[in-house]
Amino acid sequence: MMLRTAVLFILGSVSLLADLTGRWSAGGESVFVLRQNGNAVTGMIEGRAGEPTYKIVDGVIRGNQIHFFVLHEDENDPEVKTNGGNPFHNLAKGTFTENEIVVSGSRENTSIREYRLVLKRIGNQRQP
């Protein structure tokens, strides 16, 4: 019983130990800039100059799990144009450690544009 309680405490505390604030990359030109405040995560995805910037909204972490939405709302975004000019969300969910976030997702409530990303912390790497 005591071991089970200790394991549950450790698993529940992972989010307290990890701070996802910082810059993350999957190796391409896009950079995820995350800000964590308690269990809430927000931020943006920056691309090359002239490309739309996407907002990361409604992010939540629980234990070592994360989920957030990527808001597509720029009228010049080709995907927004394809969607009749209507903004939409992509859902991302997955797991994280101090220096890696693994997420998968698609356009909200669909299987359109399914993806999987392994994001690595860039810049000031935290040591586990």
Residue 35 backbone dihedrals phi, psi, to 5 degrees: -130, 125
Tell me the C-alpha distance between 110 and 90, whole Å. Answer: 9
Q: Read off the pLDDT of residues 8-45 as tens digits, 9 standing for 90 and up.
A: 444 444 445 579 999 999 998 899 999 999 999 999 99
Does pLDDT of 50 surpass 90? Answer: no
Per-residue pLDDT of 71-111, as tens digits, reads 999 988 888 898 899 999 999 999 999 999 999 998 887 77
Q: Could you tell me which residue, 123 or 69, shows the higher pLDDT?
A: 69
Closest to 65 in 3D by CA, of 33, 96, 36: 96
Q: What is the pLDDT of residue 12?
A: 44
Helix (H) or strand (E) holding 103: strand 100-107
Confidence check: pLDDT of 128 > 50: no
pLDDT for residue 18? 79
Domains along the chain with CATH numbers: 2-122 (2.40.128)
